């Protein structure tokens, strides 16, 4: 693990060095230089924050030699990445020991503030984010429920893209049919930045061909265009469009004896499951500075995705997903006091055509609405933080007319005491009671 910048913060007993210093753990260099964290809206140095964090710059990403975002997170951070039934382009994500089965349901992942979490139980798709165009990655642990609500119990991963993409052409190739191709360009003027990029990842497959002469190969193409417009000196507008196409085959399972004998064999002799996915994403954001103390940020997004998986026995059905989200947040800063708050809503639906059906006969919906407020106040050398969130989630399934509702109330309290120029001591706690028929209460420190 190559953790380039690490804030050593834990509840109650953690001590954090705040001066620039280096340490070596075996061959791994760890740099304890204070880094600003913007994921929680306070824009504190990590050594002043009341939560644990890891910050990775574009230089860290470049020096890691990683081929994609999963590769970087797996080999260079504390995030756990594991295979997802052989899917080469969408893997399982876990943080803080929630487990790889459902760990992704307890992590919020954002790109430039846009939430990637799905309205379904499927994992967030980050394999379509072009690694070379990432400016930095912020990982915050155990402090996301107030700001991000549903699904942020273990923390959050925040990905920030470069304002202006690098211009480059890359071609990589390797054994087992590995081919990576990418093109990126950017145009910048005083008031406008235009970014465009396209990337293709191909995998020839490791297993032998099935009866259709197909190995467990895969191909993914990612296309995106991004515009940033400085409408006035105090207002920026951002428009992003992206398309992702994935076409891949899953390898069949093997027994231990089969794997030890020949890991490339088809364990069942069946044809490999074949998945085709197409998605389109749109987002519009407006950030405006009202005055010297108040800033507003407005975002609206939409995702449309169609997917179908064909198994050895036939089609598993066609799924059409649609997700929209809207958010309004504000930041008020005056001397030693900062107050953030906002309102967000997310609506997601899945229409599904079952095997043998001629119509999309299944409909499932999820509707989130929530608001939050948090405040930070600095007295002498001590940061005091408190936050509150209320969120409701409504569900509906048309086949049984089933409905459901969850209410979330989240609290967050934190203190960071600077003892001297070299030492600080943070203390943080959060409490998230879910008001369900069967009450669940989760506390995180």
Cα atoms found within 13 Å of the Cα of residue 259, Cβ hemisphere only: 6
DSSP single-letter state for residue 117: -
Least confident of 9-18, 83-92, 144-153, 234-243: 9-18
Average pLDDT of 317-329?
93
Q: How many residues make up the chain in this entry? A: 445
Other beta carbons within 10 Å of 288: 15
Residue 10 has pLDDT above 50, yes or no: no
Q: Got the DSSP string for 148-170?
A: H-TT-SSEEEEEEE-SSPPPEEE
Q: What is the pLDDT of residue 434?
A: 43
* pLDDT of 436 higher than 60: no
DSSP 227: E
Q: Which two tokens stand for residue 388?
A: 């509150």
In the 8-state DSSP scheme, what is residue 213? S
> What was the pLDDT predicted at 278?
95
pLDDT by residue (tens digit) across 40-51? 555 555 555 666
Listed residue (72, 46, 157) closest to 111, CA to CA: 157
Q: For residue range 165-198, list pLDDT tens digits in order.
A: 989 999 999 998 999 999 999 999 999 999 999 9
4-8, 90-94, 331-335, range with the lowest pLDDT? 4-8
In this predicted model, what pLDDT tens digit does every residue of 354-397 receive, in sequence order? 777 788 888 999 999 999 999 989 888 888 888 999 999 898 98
Question: pLDDT tens digits, residue range 12-39?
Answer: 333 333 333 333 333 334 444 555 555 5
Query: pTM score, two decimals?
Result: 0.79
Q: Are strands 155-161 and 107-111 parallel, antiparallel or unpaired?
A: parallel
**Does position 445 have pLDDT exceeding 70, yes or no?**
no
User: Which pLDDT band holds residue 258 (cuts at 50, 70, 90)?
Assistant: very high
Whether the predicted pLDDT of 279 surpasses 90: yes
What was the pLDDT predicted at 45? 53
Instruction: With a cut of 80, say whether residue 304 has pLDDT above it.
Output: yes
* pLDDT (0 to 100) of residue 47: 54
Q: Is the pLDDT higher at 191 or at 313? A: 191
Q: Across the strands, what pairs with 68?
A: none
| Mean of pLDDT values over 221-241 | 95
Look at residue 426 in the predicted model and tell me its pLDDT. 57
Determine the pLDDT at residue 125. 80
**Residue 424: its pLDDT value, please?**
56
What percent of the chain has pLDDT above 70?
A: 82
Q: Which of 75, 51, 77, 70 is nearest to 154 (CA)?
A: 51
Contact between 337 and 376 (Cβ < 8 Å): yes
| CB proximity list for 175: less than 8 A, separation 6 or greater | none
Mean pLDDT over the full length of the chain: 81
The residue-averaged pLDDT of 187-210 equals: 93
Ordered domains of the chain (ranges, CATH): 6-444 (2.40.170.20)
């Amino acid at each position: 693990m190559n953790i380039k910048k690490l804030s050593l913060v834990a509840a109650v007993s953690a001590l954090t060095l705040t001066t620039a210093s280096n340490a070596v753990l075996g061959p791994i260099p760890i740099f304890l230089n204070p880094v600003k964290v913007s994921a929680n809206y306070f824009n504190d140095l990590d050594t002043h924050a009341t939560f644990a964090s890891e910050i990775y710059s574009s230089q860290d990403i470049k020096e890691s030699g990683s081929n994609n975002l999963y590769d970087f997170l797996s080999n260079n951070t504390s995030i756990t990445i594991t295979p997802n039934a052989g899917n080469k382009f969408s893997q399982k994500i876990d943080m803080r020991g929630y487990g790889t089965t459902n760990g992704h349901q307890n992590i919020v992942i954002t790109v430039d503030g846009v939430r990637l979490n799905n309205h379904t139980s499927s994992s967030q798709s980050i394999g379509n984010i072009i690694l070379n165009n990432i400016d930095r990655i912020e990982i915050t642990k155990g402090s996301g429920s107030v700001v991000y609500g549903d699904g942020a119990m273990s923390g959050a991963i925040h990905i920030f893209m470069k304002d202006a993409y690098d211009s480059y052409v890359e071609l990589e190739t390797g054994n087992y049919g590995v081919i990576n191709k990418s093109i990126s360009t950017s145009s910048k003027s005083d008031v406008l930045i235009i970014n465009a990029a396209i990337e293709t990842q191909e995998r020839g497959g490791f297993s032998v061909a099935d009866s259709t002469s197909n190995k467990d190969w895969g191909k993914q193409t990612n296309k995106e265009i991004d515009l940033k417009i400085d409408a006035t000196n105090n207002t920026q507008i951002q428009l992003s469009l992206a398309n992702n196409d994935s076409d891949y085959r899953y390898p069949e399972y093997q027994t231990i004896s089969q794997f030890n004998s020949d890991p490339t064999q088809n364990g069942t002799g069946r044809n490999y499951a074949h998945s085709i996915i197409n998605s389109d994403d749109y987002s519009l954001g407006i950030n405006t500075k009202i005055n010297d103390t108040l800033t507003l940020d407005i975002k609206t997004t939409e995702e449309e995705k169609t997917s179908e998986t064909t198994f050895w026995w036939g089609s598993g059905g066609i799924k059409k997903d649609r997700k929209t989200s809207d958010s309004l947040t504000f930041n008020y800063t005056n001397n030693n006091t900062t107050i953030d708050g906002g309102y967000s809503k997310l609506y997601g639906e899945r229409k599904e055509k079952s095997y043998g059906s001629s119509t999309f006969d299944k409909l499932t919906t999820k509707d989130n609405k929530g608001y939050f407020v948090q405040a930070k106040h600095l007295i002498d050398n001590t940061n005091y933080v408190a936050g509150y969130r209320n969120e409701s989630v409504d569900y509906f399934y048309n086949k049984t007319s089933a409905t459901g509702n969850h209410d979330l109330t989240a609290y967050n309290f934190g203190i960071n005491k600077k003892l001297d120029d070299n030492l600080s001591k943070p203390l943080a706690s959060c409490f998230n009671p879910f008001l369900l028929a069967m009450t669940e209460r989760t506390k995180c420190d």
